[in-house]
Homo-oligomer: A and B are copies of this chain.
Amino acid sequence: MTTAETHGKALSIGEVSERTGLSVHALRFYEREGLLIGPVHRTPGGRRQYTPSNVDWLQICVKLRESGMPLSDLKRFTELVRQGPGNEAERLRLLDDHRQRVDAQIQALEECRSVIAWKVDVYAEHLARGEAGGLWDPTP
């Protein structure tokens, strides 16, 4: 039951790159940095063979990175997961802290968005009318 990852078909690094959006360089880099839970399988010839669960994990990594989690935190999280059961409280703390940061970021972005949208309107309206106001032209 827990060997679910061993029966899926193996994926090459290029395929994983396509599926995750990470470059092959980044994939190797992540591996070196210890951002994968287990060691990646290799063919007899030495090529990496990713399992579907590797890909699942990487996709979570991508989400966490996209939302601004630094690699150091991601690494810490990976280590916790690698250690296995017993540290769920810390995992929870890590993720929940991050979620709060994401919330704050969304709020900040929304504020920025409204400032920008307002500026856009100013310009659009100005263009529609055709004459320069005191906008942001510091022509004294």
Q: A residues touching B (Cβ–Cβ < 8 Å)?
A: 1-3, 5-6, 37-38, 53, 57, 60, 63-64, 66-67, 81-82, 84-85, 88-89, 91-92, 95-96, 98-99, 102-103, 105-106, 108-113, 115-117, 119-120, 123-124, 126-127, 132, 134, 136-140
Contact = CB atoms under 8 A, between A and B. Distances in A.
B63 A92 contact: no
Contacts of A105: 109
B109 A95 contact: no
B67 A137 contact: no
A64 B63 CA distance: 24
A136 B57 contact: yes
Contacts of A110: 106
A134 B134 CA distance: 63
B140 A5 contact: yes
Given A91-B123, A92-B127, A124-B92, A116 B98 contact: yes
Contacts of A115: 60, 63
A95 B140 CA distance: 24
22 contacts: A1-B134, A2-B140, A5-B140, A6-B140, A37-B136, A63-B111, A63-B112, A63-B115, A63-B116, A66-B109, A67-B109, A67-B116, A84-B132, A85-B137, A88-B123, A88-B126, A88-B127, A95-B119, A96-B120, A106-B110, A106-B113, A109-B109
